[in-house]
Amino acid sequence: MTLAMTTEELNAFLERAFPQVAGQIRVEASDADRMISRLVVDDAHLRPGGTVSGPSIFALADVTIYLAILARIGEVALAVTTNASIDFMRKPASGRDLLAECRILKLGRTLAVGEVLVRSEGGADPVARCSMTYSIPPKGR
């Protein structure tokens, strides 16, 4: 499968369309089977106790699945999340970025389903697992 967008194009799209997360989340690698993105963790992502907050982990998973879909279908900014489920499994390692590995499980004309495992950089065990369904607008919208 040939991807519709390269890693560089995905990062440029993220900068242009979502400046609120630009510099915080970036695509590290993308191919036909998976995508890896990074959350550059800083104080804004921490909750009391010094661990990465759930909303920050969720945002990483959501953006990763979204971009993995766009990598396959091209720049369709109006694709939206229609269902999400996340399991927080363990505390992220302190002082490390988070890496999200995404696999697209189904890519149809109107729906896409993806799964993400989030790990602390250098860690083997996932800190969270997320599955999401996205609605893909009809062509021309």
The residue ranges of every structural domain in the chain are 7-135
87-121, pLDDT tens digit by residue?
999 999 988 999 999 999 999 999 999 999 999 99
- What pLDDT score does 99 carry? 98
Report the pLDDT value the prediction gives residue 40, as an integer from 0 to 100. 97
CA distances for 8 relative to 4, 60, 78, 81, 87, angstroms: 12, 18, 20, 23, 30
Are 128 and 88 in contact, with CB atoms under 8 Å apart?
yes
Give the mean pLDDT of 117-135: 97
Domain boundaries 7-135, corresponding CATH code? 3.10.129.10
Asked whether the predicted pLDDT for residue 77 surpasses 80, the reply is no
Cα 35 → chain centroid: 8
Which pLDDT score, from 0 to 100, does residue 140 have? Answer: 43
The pTM of the full predicted model, rounded to 2 decimals, is: 0.94
pLDDT of residue 1: 72
Distance of CA 72 to the CA centre of its chain: 14
Q: Are 102 and 115 in contact (CB under 8 A)?
A: yes
pLDDT band at residue 49 using 50, 70 and 90 as cut-offs:
confident
Q: What's the pLDDT band for 129 if we cut at 50, 70, 90?
A: very high
What single-letter DSSP state applies at residue 138? Answer: P
For residue 141, pLDDT over 60 is answered with no
